[in-house]
Amino acid sequence: MKKTIALLLIVAAVFGCKKDEETTDTSTNTPEYNDQNLQGKIEGVLWEYVSGKFSMRKISDSEYGYSVTMYPQRDSSLCSSGLKKWDKILFTCPITPGRYELNLDFNNPSGARTVTLYSEKEGINNIATQGSYEIVTADTSKGILEIKMNVSADSENSVNGKATLTYCN
């Protein structure tokens, strides 16, 4: 009788344990862009895009990109003045439309792509290395740069949404 019970337990264990279903993760690490004005937090303080500028900048001997600055306030002298004393977002991006993943590569510093979320009050550069941005439209003749962005440095420093910036020579 003990042998029969043991045999039944073995059979139940073998047939009762089916192979775990294989799951395929079809998601990517690419963040989604919220369909909203660019907003988030810098040093835990709410931040929302109001105005911004971009200008052509030489980023290597043979390559140009855009220097981008975004502000939470409107400025009538956006192109004629330097950096404002406000929290801001700063980065350099390629001139070619497309999606660009952030990365910080100490082995290839020229290949690194980051976004700085600057806190004026704290004087801290928070370097976002997670997420991506997308250059939707880059047209210096019309004077606009349309961008989508979802980037973060940490839980207290991140932004997501879209923005349209003004070209400054």
- What average pLDDT does the chain have? 83
3-state secondary structure of 109: helix
DSSP 160: E
Residue 119: what pLDDT?
Answer: 95
Rounded mean pLDDT, 65-69: 93
SS3 35: coil
What are the tens digits of pLDDT across the range 120-130? 999 999 999 99
- Percentage of residues of the chain with pLDDT beyond 90: 63
Of 47-56, 73-82, 84-93, 122-131, give the lowest mean pLDDT range: 73-82
Q: Is the pLDDT of residue 117 over 50?
A: yes
Which of the four pLDDT bands, split at 50, 70 and 90, describes residue 16? very low
pTM (two decimals): 0.77
pLDDT at 27 over 80: no
- Whole-number pLDDT of residue 38: 98
| 66 neighbors 54 (Cβ within 8 angstroms) | yes
How far is 87 from 118, CA to CA, in rounded Å? 5
Q: Which helix (H) or strand (E) holds 59?
A: none
pLDDT, position 111: 75
Which residue is listed with tokens 């973060």? 152
Closest CA to 133 of 169, 168, 89, 83: 89
What ranges in 17-121 are assigned the alpha helix state H?
Answer: none
The pLDDT score that the predictor gives to residue 80 is 80
Q: What is the 3-state secondary structure (H, E, C) of 11-31?
A: HHHHHHCCCCCCCCCCCCCCC
* Strand 51-58 versus strand 157-167 pairing type: parallel
Least confident of 45-49, 57-61, 96-100, 145-149: 57-61
